A = this chain, B = another copy of it.
Amino acid sequence: MSITSLLPVADVGACCAPLTRETLAAADAVSLARSLKALADPTRLRLISIVAASEGQEACACDLTAPVGLSQPTVSHHLKVLTDAGFLTRTQRGNWAHFALVPGALDSVARLLTSA
């Protein structure tokens, strides 16, 4: 299952049983830890939450700096981490990048943590 460490987060959930159901293989642990690390930041959690609450679960980067109260470069950095981890997609439209929630990506992580 070591191939999962090379896949974006949305594919992780498809491969593995929940954490508490069977012992996690080393490679799967690395992959899940990487996804969790991308989420484990208050600003990034709020950015995901704001994008998710936006129309069509998509938001312009220009509308994301004010709500979190940080500079554009800092917000861009956080958005890049979330995009690289497979939680957001980025589309350029004119001068501004737009970020959309990847359907199922958060659910995949949640499914690995849940015991139900």
Interface positions of A (Cβ within 8 A of B):
19-24, 26, 29-30, 32-34, 36-37, 39-46, 48-50, 52-53, 57, 67, 101, 106-107, 109-111, 113-116
Contact = CB atoms under 8 A, between A and B. Distances in A.
A42 B20 contact: no
A20 B36 contact: no
Contact of A113 (B20, B22, B42, B113): B113
Q: Which of A19, A23, A52, A113 is packed against the most chain B CB atoms within 10 Å?
A: A113
Given A19-B49, A107-B113, A110-B114, 9 more contacts: A20-B48, A20-B106, A24-B45, A36-B40, A37-B40, A40-B40, A109-B113, A110-B111, A114-B114
Contacts of A57: 20
16 contacts: A19-B45, A20-B48, A23-B46, A23-B53, A24-B45, A29-B45, A32-B42, A33-B39, A34-B40, A37-B40, A106-B114, A107-B113, A110-B111, A110-B114, A111-B114, A114-B114
Nearest to A48: B19
